[in-house]
Amino acid sequence: MGCTANGAAPSVDKRSFGDPTAFEPFWRKMGDKCKVVIDGGDLMSYFSDVGNVCWFLEPELGDAIRRLHRVVGNAVTEDRHIVVGTGSTQLFQAALYALTTPAGVGPVSVVSSAPYYSSYPEVVDCLRSGLYKWGGDACTFDKDGPFIEVVNSPNNPDGTLRESVVKSGRGNIIYDLAYYWPQYTAITSAADHDIMLFTCSKCTGHAGSRIGWALVKDKEIAKKMTQYITITSIGVSKESQFRTAKIMEVICDGCQNVGSSAESENFFGYARELMSKRWQKLREALEHSECLSLFKYQQERCLFTGELNERLPGRYKYIYIYIYYIYHPLRGWRAKKASRTANNFYEDLISLEEAGRLLEPIPSLLGLAYCAGKRILMESLNDYWRSKGLGTEIN
Ligand SMILES: Cc1ncc(COP(=O)(O)O)c(C=O)c1O
């Protein structure tokens, strides 16, 4: 994080990160079951498992990750290398590095279909790397040469299930499966891709532990990802790894007790019900709104719960997108370049504001778009959720 001119660190805008504290009551209820005690002399070495490709992965965490995927059935772990990272954000960078070294003639384009998770372009371009650069919307990408496509499924921000869209054969794909867990979507098959990223932030809600993991098919790619993490942080906190292993163990034990008296310990059941209640309240709150409504997702059979489950995205940015699409036809002349992606929504609002000022005699729809967008979405939605008893934001 940079410094301001007077030397003070800028405070972070909490709205720019979804903070997944919604599951905290569940973990509080688990009490001592999740307790991890670490003595002063414990975990002091850099090394964890020197024989493993990812030499800083604690074997307990590796085992817990494999068990969790087996219990949930959301990803194949057989014949996969696990690389642990400081959040999946670091693993995303590690994967970019691994897929673009040794460097070719120019930076490789990194693309994702819009609307995409807003951090992707920031992370890709922040160091102005000679290895890769942000290439924008995968749907309109038509350059020759190598590229990397990031497929986020279910997608942040709109909750859709995604597949790769670029047709050319010279690309690599990174699957960001942060939300492919039963509380957000039906688990319809075990994901089986070359590079899959997961994170505790969305799976268990422990964003503060900063633990993510990659399931990687190719040993050389796993080695290079490990090399990136070695260079940038010489491994990943062992304290966090142990805590995560414990949390995952408690989740798996709870899931395997489903149907018994310990059903209240089924984390995914709890989290799904919570998400469901929130969506229900949001639906009720928006029932009579003329300018806001919610996407309808079809139900799918979940292999984990055995039930027909509706998709319950962890983000509410879908509302942004709805407004965006509704007002799209109205702003053509002003924000042509910014059209098509919800990622440009903030810029669009500014364009709308300018357009509204110029078109004062007919302000109603433009004004409505601007006010609804800026006031409800950017500032008061969180407060609104709290006032309706929905707690802090889901994510
Ligand atoms: C799609 C997606 N991927 C990755 C992340 C970041 O995960 P982590 O906290 O593990 O860095 C987020 C966080 O919001 C996300 O929405």
Q: How large is the C-alpha radius of gyration of the chain?
A: 22
Atom of ligand 1 nearest to the CA of 200: 10
**What is the whole-number distance in angstroms between the Cα of residue 207 and the centre of ligand 1?**
9
Beta carbon of 85 within 6 Å of any ligand 1 atom = no
pLDDT the model gives residue 297? 77
CB of 88 shorter than 6 A to ligand 1:
yes
Q: Which atom in ligand 1 lies closest to the alpha carbon of residue 155? A: 1
Q: What is the reported pLDDT for 94?
A: 98
CB of 157 shorter than 6 A to ligand 1: no
Q: Give the chain's residues under pLDDT 70.
A: 1-19, 258-263, 282, 285-295, 314-395
Given ligand 1 and candidates 155, 199, 203, 206, which is best to mutate, with the most ligand atoms within 8 Å of its CB?
199
- Compute CA distances 189 → 59, 76, 192, 220, 334, whole Å: 26, 9, 9, 27, 44
Q: To test ligand 1's pocket by mutation, which of 177, 202, 237 has the most ligand atoms within 8 angstroms of CB?
A: 202
pLDDT at residue number 14: 55
How much is the pLDDT for 45? Answer: 97
Q: 117 CB under 6 A from ligand 1? A: yes
- Domain map of the chain by residue range? 22-39+46-254, 267-387
CATH architecture of 22-39+46-254: 3-Layer(aba) Sandwich (3.40)
Give yes or no for residue 120 CB within 6 A of ligand 1: no
> 393 CA distance to ligand 1 centroid (A)?
15
Q: Is 156 in the pocket of ligand 1 (CB under 6 A)?
A: yes
At residue 215, the pLDDT reads 98
What's phi and psi for 213, nearest 5 deg? -145, 150
d(CA 85, CA 213): 6
Nearest protein Cα to ligand 1, atom 3:
178
Residue 92 CA: which ligand 1 atom is closest? 4
Distance of CA 288 to the CA centre of its chain: 31
Q: Is the CB of residue 240 below 6 angstroms from any atom belonging to ligand 1?
A: no
**What was the pLDDT predicted at 315?**
52
Distance CA 350, CA 374 (A): 9
Give the model confidence (pLDDT) of 333-388 as tens digits.
333 333 333 344 444 444 444 444 433 333 334 444 544 454 444 444 445 445 54
> Which residue minimizes the CA distance to atom 2 of ligand 1?
178
Please say whether the dihedral angle defined by the alpha carbons of residues 259, 35, 270 and 177, taken in this order, is positive or negative.
Answer: negative
Nearest CA to 267 out of 289, 283, 249 is that of 249
207 lines ligand 1 (CB under 6 A): yes
Q: Whose CA is nearest to atom 7 of ligand 1?
A: 88
The verdict on the CB of residue 205 being under 6 Å from ligand 1 is no
The single residue listed with the structure tokens 């003595």 is 39
Whole-Å CA distances, 117 to 18, 72, 83, 330:
12, 25, 22, 25
Residues with Cβ within 8 Å of residue 342, at least 6 apart in sequence? 114, 115, 157, 158, 317, 320, 321, 324
pLDDT at 12: 64
| Strands, sheet with 211-216, edge to edge from the N-terminal-most edge strand | 81-86, 211-216, 195-199, 171-176, 147-152, 108-112, 132-137
Cα of 20 to ligand 1 centre, how many Å?
10
CA distances to 44, 221, 239 from 40, rounded to whole Å, are: 9, 35, 11
pLDDT confidence of residue 381: 44
Q: For a pocket test of ligand 1, which of 16, 86, 116, 119 has the largest count of ligand atoms closer than 8 A to its C-beta?
A: 119
- Under a CB-based contact definition with an 8 Å cutoff, are residues 324 and 342 in contact? yes
Ligand 1 binding pocket includes 152 (Cβ within 6 Å): yes
Centroid of ligand 1 to alpha carbon of 75 (angstroms)? 18
pLDDT value, residue 18: 60
What integer pLDDT is reported at residue 96 of this predicted model?
Answer: 98
